[in-house]
Structure 1
Amino acid sequence: MGIVHAKAPHPPKYPLDDPPLMSFAPNPDDLPKYNSEQGEPDPNAKDIIIEGVSARVDKIHIDGLERTKDDYVQDCFDDLFSATTFQDVLIGAHRARLKLEELGCFKNIAVFVDTSKGVGSTPEGLDVTFNVKEYRRLTGGVSTHIGDNEGSLLVGMKAPNIYGRGEKVQVEYSHGSKKNTQFSLAFIKPLKGKFHPIITASVFQNHSEFDASGFRERGRGILLDLGFHSFPLVKHNIQWEGIIRELGVAGKSTSFEVREQSGATLKSALRHIVSTDMRDDNIFPTGGTLIQNTTEIAGLGGDVGFWKNDVFLQSNISLYEDIVLQSCFGFGLMRGIGNDMKIGLSDMFYLGGPLSFRGFQTRGAGPHSDGDATGALGYWAAGLHLFTPLPFRPGSGGLGELFRTHFFVNTGNIGEFQPAEGEPITTVLGNNLRLSYGIGLALRLGNMARIELNYCVPQIFDENDLTQPGIQFGIGVRFL
């Protein structure tokens, strides 16, 4: 057995699609016969059963490698050489194709399975051919990005697979509909290993405007990221960020409390993000769960210091056909470190808006100063949603499949969450509880985002909150 970097000696006969073809016909006489007059299979035809059919891989042909090094792709084929049945070969070839795609070196990958011929062939042997096409040395484009109730124009350029082992340099600039801009230059290096580690080093500059809080901010910094998988569905990101942030007021009406924090700060922070996504779809999942936890410690230099933890959970249950019950929960808590350290407005928790708490204005729930949201050290929020097809299912099988009817209830709280001596934490979490409910429509935008148009009824709220009863529009990927 071996890996051959050349074209197969004869045309491959059995293409492997995505998902893999689960059929194999070594003899044309074994194929099912069809009755052309009735349009039905011949009752005398026999089924092809591939389960248990002995097979092994004698050779793997890789056609199209130019810059990519041999040692970088060899680990992708371990499952293939251990296959003992034809079904194992198909599954192994499909997994190998997915691993090749993850390398980020190829834009097209075709897989073919053929009977083995030539030197080293065995009676049960197969040849597997991978036809790959590498990315050009320099690529670029213009695209759109949707998230956090904002659309952005993204201009990017990248040089993939620079040294033949997946290294990549990319430059990106985005300009949002709310005047938010971001520029980044990143070097990305995948490493070998069963945990699929990837190292990213980037320098960036961003400018953001937070009208609900009355300030704008410009940041310049460095981000180092190590990403890896501890299990197939458990992803980790360990990051260090060093950033200089300049906070300025958004206008003459900005509150004094916000003006007090104007100026430059230096933040140096370690961050750990762990997530597992077992949902069957990102936009309209019908089953599965999403769990993400972010832990951050700032104060390793600079004048900003705190520890912070933020958890997000989502669970989906299919009640009947396309009727899905979705529950979401988010919880965050932070505390300052050291008497001389600051907690900036950008690091606080905020609640309210079509993505986090429907029926409230953006950042509308929680502490305010002269109408400007100033954030809090803790929050919790939960959402219960029922997604159903449109009544009477108009456009079934076509445009109508992009829409869902949406019923929701949101509840939660935001505050300092510092109980007095002897006071139960449940009492603190329940003080000033907020509640809203409503009905609306949800629309899928491909695999990019979801649009929600809801009629919201804020039922319970604080007198200082900024509510938004009636129609509310939201667009993004992650909703609470």
Structure 2
Amino acid sequence: MAEPLENDLFDQLRQKSTQDELNKRTKEIQTRLMSHYEKQERRIGSTLDNNSTIPVTISEVRVLSAPKTRRGFLDRIVSPIISKDNAEPYTLVEARKAIDKVAARLSKLGIYQHPISVYIDKPDPTEASSTPTDLKVYFNAKEGSWYTIKTGTEAGTAEGSIYGNAQFRNLFGGAEALNIHASKGTRTRSVISAAFDTPILSNPDLRWEISGLTSSTLKPWASHEEVLKGGSTKFKYETQRGHLHEIGYSGMWRQLTSLASNASPGIRLEAGDSFKSSLSHTWIADHRDNRLLPSRGFLLKTVSELAGVGPLKGDVGFGKLEAESQLAVPIPIPGIKGDSGVAINAGFRAGLLYPLTVGGSSGPVASRFSDRFQLGGPTDVRGFKMAGLGPHDGPDALGGDMYAAGGVSLLVPLPRTGKESPLRLQAFLNAGRLVALKGKPKDGAAMDSESVKQSVKKTLEELKKDHPSAAAGVGLVYAHPLARFELNVSMPLAIRKDELARKGLQFGIGITFM
């Protein structure tokens, strides 16, 4: 029984006068209580199989070691399992499932150290009774540090940067988070962003985020610098099947500026300001065993965006849809038991940008550079330069309105390193095609809706009938916990006119690879 133990300890505690001694004794009490509850938990676990259907009630739930978290916030998480709110008592197995569900939700908040321990106080789990056995449940959820500050340097494809990142957690006792990021680099000249995120109704699977961004990025493959300033807000929720949804609004001012002296006419026509006001939805179903180096499972993802229509305003109007999939299949090797570490990864991506009428225009307007797709580089179609596929004006990439790309890779552990190593040898084959909308006016003039339909139809036919640009190669892959690094030797196999291939060594760093 826990009550006599608690009374005895707290009687001794009241005799102490100094605050230092009080704190010391409080920690001692907590340690002895946890030891007591661990013994009770082991007793319950030893009889769970034999008494799985005995009726039990939960009369009390406490969350320990969480002084900064608001009680009202925690009540919404733990109160549903208290028996007074349920018409019927639990069975022992049902009670344990409900308790584990609460522990999982507490852990998912991201403000407590792992693991979260669960202790159950029960009079005697071996004693049968005609009345439900009463349980008291204790969650030992020790709060982690409320802030993290990081500084460092990053190196990527044709880019180096220094950065600082600050994260503040559980700001108001409700698992809120504030992330502030700043960086300066050779290509991304500057970035300053801030995002505030909070769970809704204490539900870690339902969150709201508001963020702001200002950035300046040099785009040498298109002879200009792009400046972005704006903000966004999102509602994010995850289903019981692990599907993630994000629904959001974004308002972003874009400027194409600092054109190079040799910038092409196509880029010069795009220079200036534009404002995008859009709604978006992202759906992700990720069932891979590892997002950076998967050996089994699949990924499905769609991103849809609607800009400039009706009350959204802005000066660009379009509907945009992207779809992505990836399949990882382990390859058994004779003589090796279980997972060999050898796997085949296959991926596919496609996208469509459909012009729509924006307020004040007489019809759909041709797409802007900032909204078009870019294809080519070490993270999608390897063996080509950054944005090397698709329409070009001289050396400048103009982007496209429709694309499709796919690839397959064979990943093999290095000799003597084993499947647990994050290093892999890679052999790959990838291909892609990026095309501009056929028949669109080059001066940004409006089109009529029927001509847009015909243009999209012709563009799709062209995408399907002609062969894609392709490349193959081998390389070395390293999966760091934060990003994936690749060093490949590529050989272009098929190149279209004006596209920019890259033969030989190519280095890539990123989170998503095709």
TM-score using structure 1 length: 0.81
Segment of structure 1 superposing worse, 212-221 or 184-193: 184-193
Matches within 5 A, 1:151-162: 153-162=162-171
Deviations 1:306-327 (A, max 9, x none): 1111111111111212111111
Name the count of aligned residue pairs. Answer: 443
* Distance change in 2, residues 1:91/1:387 (3 Å): farther
Superposed displacement of residue 402, structure 1? 1.9
1:479 matched to which residue of 2? Answer: 513
Which residue identity is paired with 2:418? S
- 1:286 and 1:422 mapped to 2: Cα distance? 38
Match for residue 431 of structure 1 among 466, 474, 479? 466
- 2:403 and 2:165 mapped to 1: Cα distance? 36
- 1:171 and 1:348 mapped to 2: Cα distance? 28
2:489 matched to which residue of 1? Answer: 455
2:174 matched to which residue of 1? Answer: 165
1:322 matched to which residue of 2? Answer: 341
- The answer to whether 1:84 aligns with 2:119 is no
Match for residue 334 of structure 1 among 353, 373, 380? 353
2:86 matched to which residue of 1? Answer: none
- 1:355 and 1:12 mapped to 2: Cα distance? 51
1:442 matched to which residue of 2? Answer: 477
2:318 matched to which residue of 1? Answer: 306
- The answer to whether 1:267 aligns with 2:276 is yes
2:23 matched to which residue of 1? Answer: none
Structure with more of its chain in helix, by fraction: 2
- The answer to whether 1:62 aligns with 2:38 is no
- 1:219 and 1:422 mapped to 2: Cα distance? 33
Superposed displacement of residue 294, structure 1? 0.6
Given that residues 224 and 240 in structure 1 are in contact (C-alpha distance below 8 angstroms), is that contact kept between their aligned partners in structure 2? Answer: yes
What is the root-mean-square deviation in Å for CA atoms of aligned residues?
3.5
Superposed displacement of residue 122, structure 1? 9.1
Superposed displacement of residue 265, structure 1? 1.2
- 1:181 and 1:100 mapped to 2: Cα distance? 37
- 2:475 and 2:314 mapped to 1: Cα distance? 46
- The answer to whether 1:411 aligns with 2:431 is yes
2:105 matched to which residue of 1? Answer: 99
2:266 matched to which residue of 1? Answer: 257
Segment of structure 1 superposing worse, 322-331 or 75-84: 75-84
Superposed displacement of residue 203, structure 1? 2.0
User: Can you give the 5+ residue segments of structure 1 that lack an aligned partner in the other structure?
Assistant: 17-22, 31-47
Superposed displacement of residue 278, structure 1? 0.8
Superposed displacement of residue 442, structure 1? 1.0
- 1:345 and 1:206 mapped to 2: Cα distance? 17
Match for residue 395 of structure 1 among 414, 417, 436? 417
- 2:41 and 2:115 mapped to 1: Cα distance? 21
Match for residue 175 of structure 1 among 173, 179, 184? 184
- 1:179 and 1:194 mapped to 2: Cα distance? 36
Segment of structure 1 superposing worse, 417-426 or 170-179: 417-426
- 2:107 and 2:291 mapped to 1: Cα distance? 20
- 2:226 and 2:321 mapped to 1: Cα distance? 23
Match for residue 396 of structure 2 among 372, 394, 402? 372
- 1:473 and 1:91 mapped to 2: Cα distance? 48
User: Can you give the 5+ residue segments of structure 2 that lack an aligned partner in the other structure?
Assistant: 1-5, 7-28, 84-88, 333-339, 358-362, 439-453
Match for residue 11 of structure 1 among 34, 38, 42? 34
Deviations 1:373-403 (A, max 9, x none): 001101000111111112xx313377xx121
2:72 matched to which residue of 1? Answer: 71
- 1:72 and 1:350 mapped to 2: Cα distance? 44
Segment of structure 1 superposing worse, 368-377 or 295-304: 295-304
Given that residues 182 and 207 in structure 1 are in contact (C-alpha distance below 8 angstroms), is that contact kept between their aligned partners in structure 2? Answer: yes
Q: Matched residue of 1:12: which SS? A: helix
- 1:203 and 1:132 mapped to 2: Cα distance? 32
Given that residues 146 and 476 in structure 1 are in contact (C-alpha distance below 8 angstroms), is that contact kept between their aligned partners in structure 2? Answer: no
1:383 matched to which residue of 2? Answer: 407
Which residue identity is paired with 2:61? I
Segment of structure 1 superposing worse, 351-360 or 409-418: 409-418
2:3 matched to which residue of 1? Answer: none
Structure with more of its chain in strand, by fraction: 1
2:21 matched to which residue of 1? Answer: none
* Distance change in 2, residues 1:49/1:175 (3 Å): farther
The higher radius of gyration belongs to 2
Q: Matched residue of 1:303: which SS? A: coil
- The answer to whether 1:276 aligns with 2:285 is yes
Which residue identity is paired with 2:483? A
* Distance change in 2, residues 1:424/1:153 (3 Å): closer
Percentage of matched positions with identical amino acids:
24
Q: Matched residue of 2:331: which SS? A: strand
